Chain A
């Protein structure tokens, strides 16, 4: 793994530059409330992006995360309305997410079909099942202990920020300091060599998909608890935002490289774009365009670095 300091520094540099511009043109951007909003908005995205990075590290992808987010949000909200205590609601969302992720993993390892196709299928499957279940109805009147997760504070800092921070620290530790993390990098870099070293690629893939599902479940708890209603079209297009944050954050889409810090910065950049536009008084219609611009910039950046290192010569081998 290359620790992609250059990528992390360039995102940080860009965010600083953006801040400088904002401090000149729109000083009220720096109100505490606004910064806090941005971080809270980033928290659910970054949790899901960290999950996506695990899958991308192994050279796979999970396009069903938007549907998983919707299912977990809906089921958690209904369970809470039915009077389930909040800790149990958490466990339910996480467990459900992990199960749906595990199902993806089983399909990928069992059918030996690339995850791009498999999860394109489960994306529709999960979404369809949800719409059948809710009949397209929204869920209103969410209990206060449920909403407290998204709106509450601990030591003055919003709870979603705490959860995202803890997740990032824990996942970063798992990736860099445990055999499990090394396995993800190995399988994504060279599955054949990984098998030769005695690792079990299919188990590692299953773990990546399952933990990704679990983190999407966690993400759904940060997401759903912030709004007064859950729509059945929740999370449509979420997968693309998550993949974008991951790739912009320096994870190689072909697997084998990526860091938690980079991906969190990528998520921060993605969720800052919208808010920033408002402060520059630019129409928010430009948001997707800018997002696309950053994705392409990230990919161009990788390609150029690849050429310089000579990695491109073995590009086909992966």
Chain B
């Protein structure tokens, strides 16, 4: 088998953050090479370099032994490197056929040669053993079919190197099986495939070799049949966690939030759990496992098909204002789009959820508002401490503190925190953790959703793990990162017992 691609000493830095620190990688003809690692390990940066979207600061890329300069995705594509991204980069209003050829339409003189394109498309689809409605607009297709369109596109440009980024994230089991068959077929034709996945079981089902990235470095590479799951997880996690999280676990009190058999078709299924007084329960799982969706459904932002949500013994209907009144609050995942109202002043952002309490007759009690605002700014050390600035004038970490401040001013009994420290610098992160711990000490119940495994292990009293929309494990405080990772990737099930 001859070598297709070799990367030597690839380095890439983004504004002081070293995303890749001298990565070597290689791909031979007719192999599926899995690339795994935690969020932020450098997988995306690496494939963007291979597909020409980024240029490395240092290092060389060899294509079949010759050094190449992949200066744009176009150049990479012309050399036969095609990436199928997690979020499809196609045109929903155009037909399938147009999508297959967009950017490289076949011509006959000045005219587009539709019959030829039709023939070519049919040929590629036969190769894939699939049928697609070529004339239908792309938006009528399922996620799996769109995935197929992207792969067919790769075939049409005669890709020698195919990069798949989380290709199965949106697919059903059957569709995954079909994708595997297609990949195996491509492999037998000599195509080299780089397969990025969070699901470790996939590595063992489909890949020939696996490379593990951690913190921008290759920490392990092996033939898949020579290693096991333990090996993978150990290399992925590989660091000491804990210590930096200020937690004083106490015995939990009475149940505050009870979720019973919550189901939303195709998103999550049969979710049941409890959060008690003075307890932090983490909801862990990979991106796309349904964690945030469960949180949004509990708070009433999204509908659910069946199931019940109870707060302090009262069943609440799925509406945010009902949840809020019952004492539940949600700190949303994306502070710029959901959490804060960027154009409005910090003061307003802080008090939006307690406006009813601030009413004096019809009007707002300005003095009461002022004291609430001053208290929140002080407690969370918001910088700069000026409530009249529009929220967008603050740094990301301080915006997050303001949004958290709004949630806390409500004095909730149960607080759902969805990625509370994502994109927050280390100092602000510690402040947020301290605040949460103090409140939990006073009896608050917290449901913590986080992709940051050390945060989950360091803060939570119990860890619930989701995998593909189901709750697969309940783990106690003190569980290892390996155990959580195993459960999150579907390698371990610990039945939830109550």
Contact = CB atoms under 8 A, between A and B. Distances in A.
Contacts of B345: 1
B356 A179 contact: yes
Contacts of B358: 179
Contacts of A198: 320-321, 324-325, 352-353
Contact of B336 (A194, A196, A314): A314
Interface in A158-211: 173, 177-179, 182-183, 185-186, 189-190, 192-200
A14 to B, nearest CB: 26
Contacts of A195: 301, 320
A311 interface: yes
Contacts of B301: 195-196
Contacts, number: 83
Given A196-B301, A200-B321, A311 B355 contact: no
B80 interface: no
Contacts of A177: 363-364, 366
Contacts of B338: 190, 192-193, 196
Interface in B337-396: 337-345, 348, 352-353, 355-356, 358-359, 362-364, 366, 390, 392
B364 A179 contact: yes
Interface in B201-220: none
A197 B353 contact: yes
A82 B287 CA distance: 70
Greatest chain B CB density within 10 A among A190, A256, A311, A317 is at A190
B344 A256 contact: yes
A189 B324 CA distance: 21
Best-buried of B343, B359, B363 by chain A (most CB within 10 Å):
B343
B469 interface: no
Range, interface on chain A: 20 to 34
Contacts of A310: 392
A194 B344 CA distance: 12
B363 A193 contact: no
Contacts of B341: 186, 189-190, 193-194, 256
A257 interface: yes
B406 interface: yes
B343 A2 contact: yes
Contact of B363 (A178, A183, A186, A189): A178
B332 A196 contact: yes
Contacts of A311: 343, 392
Given A2-B343, A193-B339, A196-B330, A182 B348 contact: yes
Contacts of B344: 1, 185-186, 189, 256
Contact of B362 (A178, A193, A196, A309): A178
Contact of B406 (A179, A185, A197): A197
Given A178-B364, A182-B364, A186-B348, 10 more contacts: A1-B348, A2-B343, A173-B363, A177-B363, A192-B337, A196-B338, A198-B353, A256-B344, A314-B336, A317-B336
